[in-house]
Structure 1
Amino acid sequence: MRSRISRRRFLTTAAATGAGAIGGGLAMPYLSRAADRPQVTHGVQSGDVGADGGVVWARADRPSQMMVEVATTESFGNARALPPIAALPESDFTAKMLLENLPAGQDIFYRVRFRDLAHTDIASEPITGRFRTAPADRRDVSFVWGGDVAGQGWGINPDDGGMFTFATMRKHRPDFLLHSGDTVYADGIIAAEVKLPDGKVWKNVVIPEKVKVAETLDEFRAAHKYNFLDDNVRAFNAEVPIFVQWDDHEVTNNWSASKQLPAAYKERDIMLLAARAAHAFHEMYPLRESIAEPGRVYRTLSYGPHLDVFMLDERS
């Protein structure tokens, strides 16, 4: 990483004497290494977009504040800075901000930085994203639809281009992605290699938390973060809003309160697993959260005069 050199001024309180003394009022260089700056770890996302706004999401690598600027031009010439919000350990350093009072049917550009809590003059490099607000007029609306990400052991294979379905969807410039769940396969592992029937070997990117089924909160979080490691996914997320629900693999296949868990699970309380899965799900996606009913998945999203999207809660 390249170090950044800047200068700070200081004043001496008395005349300096002796070898190496520096006169009062001179500038003293110091090094600010890249490691000192917060990092945006998994790109940016937007979601639950309507005619007047939407939610933006990002994650930092440490306790920090998320700072967002929003504009209607890609140059950010008319940018509006919003009050910062916290990204803390209890949310795995994720932060979501609702952008409001935006014009309908408009391309919106946003820029995200994280500011160190202990040193507020140290901030991350900016990450930019965009979305299009819902129209107020009677124009056509397009969306892509899908689900079931990284299931049955098929993860990110760089040799095969990664999750290139997201690149294909991105080329069509849809208004949003309707994600019908199985956002992760928390009940499935990602092995380093999968032998194919023709003798070839499929090679996955692996992380320690995905070589077993998810049981702890951090393992559920890691299942989502695994998908965000893919370049295609991050590029898609930065340009196309997501309307997200979940299905069942966010916990385990065909689960209910009475389900008998497979032997792979040391944690036998499925409702505890479901609660951890729900916690991670809400942290990792840009849903509009309900104040009256925290943790709610079902909601109605109005996207212009022609389209309402009814998101169901399929958690059991």
Structure 2
Amino acid sequence: MSKLNRRHFLVTGLAAGAAVTIPATAALADPGADPGTDPAVEAASRELRTDPFTLGVASGDPDHEGFVLWTRLAQEPLAEDGFGGMPQRPFPVQWQVYADERCRRVVRSGVSVATPEWGHSVHVEVDRLSSDREYWYRFRVGKYVSPVGRARTAPHPLSYGSSLAMAFVSCAQYEHGYFTSYRRLAEDNPDLVLHLGDYQYEYTKDTYTIPGGNVRDHEGPETETLANYRQRHAQYKADPDLQAAHAAAPWLVVWDDHEVDNNWADEIPEKPEVPQPNFLARREAAFRAYYENMPLRRTSIPRGIDMQLYRRIRWGRMAMFHMLDTRQYRDDQGCGDGYRDCPAAVDPARSITGNEQESWLLDGFHHSRAQWDIIGQQVFFAQRDNNAGPAKITSQDAWDGYVASRQRITQGWVDAKVRNAVVLTGDVHAHWASDLKLDYDDPTGPSVGSELVATSISTGGDGADSDPSTHPFLAINPHLKFYNNQRGYVLTKIERDQLTADFRVVPKVQTPGAEVYTRATFVVEDRVPGVQQTYLRPLDPTLRAQQQLTVEETVRLETERP
């Protein structure tokens, strides 16, 4: 089957294999039942000598009637064979959804089967719940009970609901620092979390290092096989701060590059000049492990080297989330992955989304009636020229390497008269805020959208604060409005009249437990494209003597990878 036809099937139909796990959404629970009395669940537990819920719980992809529940059984998370120390047979796992935080009022329950073929993962699509409200959930295998997670449903499609607290994150390199930002995010109690890629990193220990040395080590070799990817996901999922963030709210997830291989593009690895005959097998293994470890619906079950990940999530009339995949369908980077003056960047035939995903996105703009159309994606969208002269020196791994693709999509939301277009981005290990333009060469031209960029959770180590107004990229690109090189996340409040974005930072990740604070706040007003700064925390006096970043240092921070 050709690539085009294969992917068209994934867009328009359910992926085969949906029966691998049993959704079990039809059974209504007896509110007074003991969740440990199911005979099949009790029998299964006799083979389990230790708690199998070492990887926590998660929920995801909510709609107005339900959400996905996830867990994965693993008695020994770091087992090299990728099976988590589990016996090689299926295990029935009981799940329950509660109307109250103390888990006394059961509203939905059932049993799903965790099989070794899918890493003993469980994906339950819960439906027939009330819209726009909180729920709690947990799993049980015999005497073993999982932690409790909090989920929530979206408002009814015809309702705005209340304001939406949404956080978004990216880039969590386990070796570079502790996941303190995940913990602080959980404490902010969001309604929804978007993860925009680089959930885990593929490198073996001491390959991708920071000055002074890494603070933790990866287990196992560089991830290439299914066992490798399962082990690496398990190491990350076992982190208590990440578990807290997953348990706090439903997530919408999309990958970037490190879930497979740095800077991969479609069927091409990072270094195509180096023979890698097993790259497609590696991609297949990575996709399978990603599904096994994420709260995704059955429409995302991978089929060989393909996986349907771009999708829409409606949050009532308030917001439409268009979640993109800018890796699986892109043309290869035109002149390598770094900053280049590259003629291929403006080739109209080249695309970062692929033709079908681009058409899907443009069609979604035309049909959306949401107050806010939010594009959750991976790499920098606005132009970032690092050269003050006539040549454009831009990152070929970002949308700057696919200028015509960016232009078509931007023009698409303008032509569709999208009320408020906001692009959310990860990847670059720094906070940014920018106005979006149809013509970046005309700084006086109108803004047509807004971009908010989340820094890394830990990648790059502690980072450093600086005066954002002195950053050279902002002088060269006047549509760029903010920069910060600390670690953290972005916390937004989405209301009918405005979207407020707090750029949250922690001063240290190379030691655990730092407190979080807001470095800056930007607002996007309804029907007023572009970002407006409403708060800027004064620079710490102890940091004022630090040298401001140069263009070369900024590029190095983004590209200093193996």
- Please state whether the residue corresponding to 2:144 is helix, strand or coil: coil
AA matched with 1:132: R
CA contact (8 A) 1:181 1:247 kept: yes
Q: Does 1:219 align with 2:228?
A: yes
Q: Does 1:73 align with 2:100?
A: yes
Residues 34-73 of structure 1: pairs in structure 2 closer than 5 A = 36=49, 39-61=52-74, 62=86, 63-73=90-100
Counterpart residue number, 1:140: 163
Q: CA deviation at 1:191?
A: 4.1
CA distance in 2, matches of 1:93, 1:236: 22
CA distance in 2, matches of 1:205, 1:164: 17
CA contact (8 A) 1:54 1:98 kept: yes
Q: Flag the 1:68–1:277 CA change in 2: closer, same or farther, 3 A.
A: same
1:130 is aligned, of 139, 150, 153, to 150
TM-score normalised by length of structure 2:
0.43
Counterpart residue number, 2:281: 272
Instruction: Provide structure 2 residue ranges, at least 5 long, that are not aligned to the other structure.
Output: 1-44, 75-85, 329-562
Q: Flag the 1:306–1:267 CA change in 2: closer, same or farther, 3 A.
A: same
Counterpart residue number, 1:169: 185
**What is the root-mean-square deviation in Å for CA atoms of aligned residues?**
2.9
CA contact (8 A) 1:173 1:240 kept: yes
AA matched with 1:102: L
Counterpart residue number, 1:312: 324
CA contact (8 A) 1:113 1:127 kept: no
Counterpart residue number, 1:244: 253
Counterpart residue number, 2:216: 204
CA contact (8 A) 1:67 1:83 kept: yes
Q: CA deviation at 1:86?
A: 0.8
1:182 is aligned, of 187, 198, 206, to 198
Instruction: Provide structure 1 residue ranges, at least 5 long, that are not aligned to the other structure.
Output: 1-31, 115-121
Q: Does 1:285 align with 2:303?
A: no
Counterpart residue number, 1:86: 113
Counterpart residue number, 2:404: none
How many residues were matched structurally?
263
Tell me which protein shows more helix as a share of its residues.
Answer: 2
User: Identity, % of aligned pairs?
Assistant: 26
- Please state whether the residue corresponding to 1:232 is helix, strand or coil: helix
CA distance in 1, matches of 2:287, 2:46: 37
Instruction: Please say which of residues 88-97 and 168-177 is displaced more in the overlay.
Output: 168-177
CA contact (8 A) 1:72 1:106 kept: no
Q: CA deviation at 1:247?
A: 1.2
Q: Flag the 1:167–1:296 CA change in 2: closer, same or farther, 3 A.
A: same
Q: CA deviation at 1:81?
A: 4.8
CA distance in 2, matches of 1:288, 1:194: 35
AA matched with 2:170: G
Q: CA deviation at 1:267?
A: 5.9
CA contact (8 A) 2:263 2:270 kept: no
CA contact (8 A) 1:55 1:98 kept: yes
Q: CA deviation at 1:259?
A: 3.6
CA distance in 1, matches of 2:215, 2:301: 45
TM-score normalised by length of structure 1:
0.75
Q: Flag the 1:69–1:223 CA change in 2: closer, same or farther, 3 A.
A: same
CA distance in 1, matches of 2:210, 2:188: 33
Counterpart residue number, 1:20: none
CA distance in 2, matches of 1:67, 1:204: 35
Instruction: Please say which of residues 290-299 and 56-65 is displaced more in the overlay.
Output: 290-299
Q: CA deviation at 1:180?
A: 0.9
**CA distances 1:208-266 after superposition (whole Å, capped 9, x unpaired):** x2xx2111101112222221121111111111211001111111112132446489x99
- Please state whether the residue corresponding to 1:84 is helix, strand or coil: strand
Counterpart residue number, 1:108: 135
CA distance in 1, matches of 2:63, 2:208: 42
Q: CA deviation at 1:291?
A: 8.0
